[in-house]
Amino acid sequence: MKRFIVLVLALVAVTSAFGTKPQVRVSHVEPLSWWVGMNMPLQLMVNGEGIGACDVEILPAECGVVVTAVHKADSPNYIFVDVAIADDAMPGDYTLRFTCGKRSLDVPYTISARREGSRYRESFTNADFVYLIMPDRFANGDVTNDNSDDTREKVDRGNPGRRHGGDLRGIMNHLDYIADLGATAVWCTPLLLDDEDGASYHGYSCSDYYRIDPRYGTNELFREYVEECHNHGLKVIMDIVPNHSSTTHWWYDDQPFTDWTHQWDSYTQSNWTFSTNMDFNASQADLYQMESGWFDRSMADMNLDNPYLLRYFQQWAIWWIEYSDLDGFRVDTYPYNEKNPMSLWCEAVMDEYPNFNIVGEVWTSSIPQLAYWQGGNANKDGFDSHLKSIMDFPLHDAIRAAMTESGDGGWGIGMTRIYDVLSHDFVYHDLDNMMIMAANHDTDRIGDVCVGDARRMKIVAALITTLRGMPQMLYGDEHMFRSTDRSKGHPTLRIDFPGGWEGDAVNLFDASQHSGDQKDVYDYTRHLMNWRKDKGVIHSGRTMHFIDRDNTYAYFRYNDEEVVFVYINNTNDARCVPWSRYSEIGASLHDGIDVVSGATVDMNDVTVEPMSALIVEFKR
């Protein structure tokens, strides 16, 4: 709303200066504001009819903020304005004066002081547990914003592929639930405006990079949401998409440059083969189609080789961090961006915030290809992504496959799959910065994979909370949510959280309404998530595992002070733990405590029930 008022004021100023038929107007100035003391030089993108014919200055001139260059675009309706801000510049409200001949118009612009400690803010780490929310499906806290006059799609909760009305206020109303569960960070799928005619609830087709979707709330409410998360001990990870924007974005029909988005003679989709980025044998034609082909007909592929667009996205990311006090980013479809500009993008963010963490979605089952994308990896082509964290899809795939194989195991099946994935850990540059998960918003519900078997779900919880890396869980998996109709695809796995809407028959935010297997899974998951919070041995301890091909899996997480032993029995029969087999690490361990029951455990005589996990901790 504030942005709208500013633009109205700008238009009034234009009319006053030029008469009732203005020749020039300002529709957008981005970034919306800036700060004193930033490393990133400010470059404004100004959009408005005929603005390319104007000169620009900033007033007052004596306060340390000056225009140093003005760059014209291919379109006459854009200019890019370089602004120098002295380290001792005065924070406050400034005026952008656009002059065409003898006429001028003024637009307000704010340059603020940075919040204390902003540069060295902490981010999410392997000590965190990330809770993934699809905002439209979590809770409806404000029914008055279910629909808005300036967005196309309206609420239709009866249709799984349409908007259901969840919003920021709904999440804020249930932060106590999330914190009590044991999560320490929240990742929401994109909250920025997505103005498609249908399926806009997913948010991955951005129509305005500087505006929270009004059906979720406002920019100001998002900032309040971040503050409330921090008050609840929760870090906030923002999901962003530099690879593509919506064809409903305000710039789409009049782009600043002819190469702002990738153009084809006819619609050309990406070939999805991002191995072309590191494949010595790949053709340039295949590489070009991979990174320049469109993700979908409604998703215009952005060309980050354009230096103005790259600077736009660098500043956009930094603006949201500084404006709303963010703790991290998750970057969608990371390898589909041009890799060298994205490396510069990551580098710019990290230069501004040295402790900041960014996790990229690199959806591949190939461990070497995944490792290629983590910053600092010793790639043969010398490429460094500067991307700190990557999502561990090979482990994700192994866990899910193992949960469908509950027999006596064998070579390459059952729990051996997980052993095999972790046996490749030597490939990765930084194991602490691997995000691990059993499901997310784009995969089948883990409750469906486990066919509603609470025992399997508890094994998954045991794995996710004790393996190396940063665990992430999709909302509702703590209750063993299942899709409503898997044959209808993604919309039916992105189900509404019961209790998030007035009139829901069941409220699973209320622990007194938990029952049966769902209660069993919830209680077990919650216990382990909260136990993990202060376990440094789990956060960053080393791993030692032992191979067996009988569909069991034994591993230790250890450091100099503590050891945690995990034994997974994924078979249909009870198994006696072969403790003597683990003597190289277990011989000196005594007085183990069962993490779930709290009972003392004699490791020389332990039987683990079918389809279950044993977690025992020791002090050294």
Q: What is the amino acid identity at position 367? A: I
pLDDT tens digits for 572-589? 999 999 999 999 999 999
- Residues tagged active-site: 332, 361
pLDDT of residue 213: 98
Distance CA 456, CA 166 (A): 30
Mean pLDDT of the chain: 95
pLDDT tens digits for 155-202? 999 999 999 999 999 999 999 999 999 999 999 999 999 999 999 999
Q: Where are the domains of the chain?
A: 2-112, 541-619
Cis geometry, peptide bond prior to residue 31 (ω within 30 degrees of 0): yes
Across the range 353-379, mean pLDDT stands at 98
pLDDT tens digits for 275-320? 999 999 999 999 999 999 999 999 999 999 999 999 999 999 999 9
CA angle 563, 566, 569 (to 5 degrees): 165
Across the range 321-335, mean pLDDT stands at 98
Distance CA 233, CA 38 (A): 27
pLDDT score of 475 more than 90: yes
Tell me whether strands 542-546 and 34-35 are parallel, antiparallel or unpaired. Answer: unpaired
Bigger pLDDT: 13 or 569? 569
User: Which residues in 505-525 are b (16+ Cβ under 10 Å) and which e?
Assistant: eeebbeeeebeeebbbbbebb
Per-residue DSSP letters for 203-240? --S-SEEEEE-TTT--HHHHHHHHHHHHHTT-EEEEEE
Taking residue 452's Cβ as centre, other Cβ atoms within 10 Å add up to: 14
Return the closest-CA partner of residue 333 out of 274, 285, 252, 260. 274
pLDDT score of 461 more than 60: yes
pLDDT tens digits for 27-76? 999 999 999 999 999 999 999 999 999 999 999 988 999 999 999 999 99
- Dihedral angle computed from the Cα positions of residues 383, 385, 388 and 394, in that order, rounded to the nearest 10 degrees: -80
pLDDT of residue 23: 65
Helix ranges (DSSP H) in 360-425: 367-372, 393-402, 416-422
Across the range 458-479, mean pLDDT stands at 98
pLDDT score of 479 more than 70: yes
pLDDT score of 22 more than 90: no
Return the closest-CA partner of residue 213 out of 292, 126, 142. 142
Percent residues over pLDDT 70 in the chain: 96
Distance CA 368, CA 348 (A): 26
| pTM of the entire predicted model | 0.95
CB 581 within 8 A of CB 544: no
Q: What is the amino acid identity at position 299? A: M
Bigger pLDDT: 409 or 131? 131
Q: In the CATH scheme, what architecture does the domain 541-619 have?
A: Sandwich (2.60)
| HSE-CB for 280 with a 13 A CA cutoff | 4
The domains spanning 2-112 and 541-619 adopt the same CATH topology: yes
Per-residue DSSP letters for 359-372? EE----S-HHHHHH
Q: In the CATH scheme, what architecture does the domain 2-112 have?
A: Sandwich (2.60)
